[in-house]
Structure 1
């Protein structure tokens, strides 16, 4: 199998996995985003008591479509992000392993994940900003609502300039550590599990020893560690990406302003707003992602060991 073929198989598996993840868990993403921007002061949203109450309230006031606001850019962003992530990640691993001639260390997995995350963040920040803006639209919004992705892009460029598309890029780049932690944990836990099963079954083809339940367990476990460590960066990015008021005044001037104001008025708890729906969304979502990813790879290269 050629290197380029292996890379594109990896990218395809990642893109399919990303789409499946977003489609299954999107309403919780809406709830998380709205909790994240609720700083307890002036807000455009009703007071949500908890995740279930938020889902009920959004459905009652905005209909089911309210739970899927910004779904198109979310699908686009997730599909592109996962596809690029796995592509860059796989390419980096190939480079560090010198085309599979050397076994990768934990440091190499960490460097590969960090490199992939930074490149993806630079490529996709405008998509995530538009998704966040669309998710935060509701009947109480005072500014003219965006009608869709194109209208949002055109309005942002006209009213705020192209640099607005990169609001929240700083914490977005810091969130590279999220992917690095998750993928390093996943690879190491996967290796331990494969070694254990290989010894137990005393068989060859260790890459085929794991099943979908194993992938779900590995994906969920690695995600929990990454979320707990890096979640504050998500809150900072979301707050920094909010749409300015109709007078053109931004809620926060920049990411550092978000940090100072959040710490001043809310303390450490402010940096973990919305973590419950985030865990409910991302832990099973990560399990789905890796189940789909690993099984799509098996379909794309069923005879890999003989290539």
Structure 2
């Protein structure tokens, strides 16, 4: 597949905005009523510029910048093409990057606080107190518990999602007229399919990751492989796909929104910078 290298700042802006819009437009009825650029205008109107760049938006920015960077490194120097296996490696690198810098600490803290809240006598009084308590009790590595499964999950997520999206996009573009731009509805459909494939292929990693970040993980599992072995032998292989439906709904919608907004922002920035 041909690779058009985007400027890092363009990828960062487009990816961050896509993450912000994805967080804002989670409900299907919002998506049906508003086009991506209309959602951006409404977000700016109601929440200002900071509304676009909060929450998971920064994470999406890191993901897209990292993916474009790794794709650039792996692209064929003569033809500028990126094969599907190399796209898979680029996605793997992007996912691992976001796992190290953002996902693992935030998800470890979130999982432990949820577990603590379900106990008869919760010990954490809030996010700040919970984070400080975890670090005091377990050290800085306490918020990096489960780093390996998170890296595997995020790496697999990005590898499968980006490669599926790129491959399907290339196929659809091959059937279109030369120079024809894919409409947002097609881009959304391709992104949604990429999200669906991602869910079913990476769900076991998500289950292991969640178990490894729980409060009981230290007393029950020696490592991620031991955790997976116990789930398989004690609960059966189907346990690895428990909770697929809610994650499926989220990632299918997320895939459609993120890629559609990203493509629109890249076009918008590219058009503005060329005029």
* Matched position secondary structure for 2:124: coil
In the alignment, which residue of structure 1 is the partner of 2:106? 127
1:183 is aligned, of 162, 165, 171, to 162
1:261 to partner: Cα distance: 2.8
* Matched position secondary structure for 1:102: coil
1:84 is aligned, of 43, 62, 65, to 62
Determine if the alignment matches structure 1 residue 166 to structure 2 residue 138. Answer: no
- Write out per-residue CA displacement over residues 152-210 of structure 1, whole angstroms, 9 at most, x where no aligned residue: 22111011111121211121222212211111111010011112112xxxx43x4xx11
Q: Which ranges in structure 1 are unaligned for 5 or more consecutive residues?
A: 27-74
TM-score (norm 2): 0.78
Greater Cα shift, 276-285 or 163-172: 163-172
TM-score (norm 1): 0.71
Q: Which ranges in structure 2 are unaligned for 5 or more consecutive residues?
A: 28-53
Query: Residues 111 and 261 (structure 1 numbering): CA distance in 2 closer, same or farther, change over 3 Å?
Result: closer
- Write out per-residue CA displacement over residues 57-109 of structure 1, whole angstroms, 9 at most, x where no aligned residue: xxxxxxxxxxxxxxxxxx63x32321111101111222333689522222221
Determine if the alignment matches structure 1 residue 116 to structure 2 residue 117. Answer: no
Contact 1:242 1:251 in 2 (8 A): no
Determine if the alignment matches structure 1 residue 277 to structure 2 residue 255. Answer: no
CA RMSD of aligned residues (A): 2.8
The structure with higher relative contact order (CA 8 Å, sep 6+) is 1
Contact 2:22 2:257 in 1 (8 A): yes
Determine if the alignment matches structure 1 residue 296 to structure 2 residue 265. Answer: yes
- Write out per-residue CA displacement over residues 282-303 of structure 1, whole angstroms, 9 at most, x where no aligned residue: 1111111111111121222225
1:234 to partner: Cα distance: 0.5
Query: Residues 251 and 181 (structure 1 numbering): CA distance in 2 closer, same or farther, change over 3 Å?
Result: same
Query: Residues 25 and 141 (structure 1 numbering): CA distance in 2 closer, same or farther, change over 3 Å?
Result: farther
1:268 to partner: Cα distance: 1.0
Alignment of 1:92-111 (within 5 A): 92-97=70-75, 102-111=80-89
Contact 1:240 1:253 in 2 (8 A): no
Greater Cα shift, 285-294 or 126-135: 126-135
In the alignment, which residue of structure 1 is the partner of 2:51? none
1:147 to partner: Cα distance: 0.7
Q: Distance in 2 between matches of 1:8 and 1:99?
A: 23
